[in-house]
Amino acid sequence: MPWIAAAILFGSGVNAYQASRSRQQASDQQRQALSQQASDAARMREEISRQTQAYAQQATSLQQQADIARQQFDLQAQSFRENKLAMENKAKEVQAAADEERRKAAAAESSALRARTRGGRRSLLSGERMDAELGLGMNLGGSSGMLQ
């Protein structure tokens, strides 16, 4: 019977060794899996960090483009306002010149009308001119030689 006891003990020892080895392998596999998860998580964090930096650069670039566009718009708006003001001033100048020309034309027309209605055109002519035109050599009685 010692052999049977030895065989049982040996079988138990082999089973214990196999169980211990299985536990060791399971533990090693679990450590490998945890290590793999940790390395995957580290790679994922690095990728997220790279993406975050890329997005930050894009956001900075877009912000700069928006600032440049806003500055260009402001410059164009300022230029438009200046051009509009210059055009309004020019239009006022042209209008003032046209009004002055109309006023002068109206004054000349009024003066000519007044001259025609108050004694005819001859009343404006001097005596010397009448002499030259008519061949008359007379003084009509004024010191200035104007007809009255």
pLDDT tens across 13-41, in order?
Answer: 888 889 999 999 999 999 999 999 999 99
Asked if 127 contacts 121 with a C-beta cutoff of 8 angstroms, the reply is no
pLDDT at residue 138 is higher than 80: no
On whether both 110 and 136 belong to a single domain, the answer is no
At 126, is the secondary structure helix, strand, or coil?
strand
Spell out the residues 6+ positions from residue 148 whose beta carbon is closer than 8 angstroms to its own.
123, 140, 141, 142
Residue-wise pLDDT tens digits, 73-123 = 999 999 999 999 999 999 999 999 999 999 999 998 888 888 777 755 455
Same domain (yes/no): 109, 140? no
Range of the domain at 49: 2-117
| Domain match, 148 and 88 both | no
Residues 102 and 133 in one domain: no
The rounded radius of gyration (Å) of the Cα atoms in the chain is: 58
Residue where the block lists tokens 């002519």: 125
Name the pTM for this structure: 0.43
Coil vs helix vs strand at 32? helix
On whether both 48 and 106 belong to a single domain, the answer is yes
Can you tell me the distance from the alpha carbon of 134 to that of 119, in angstroms, rounded to the nearest whole number?
Answer: 19
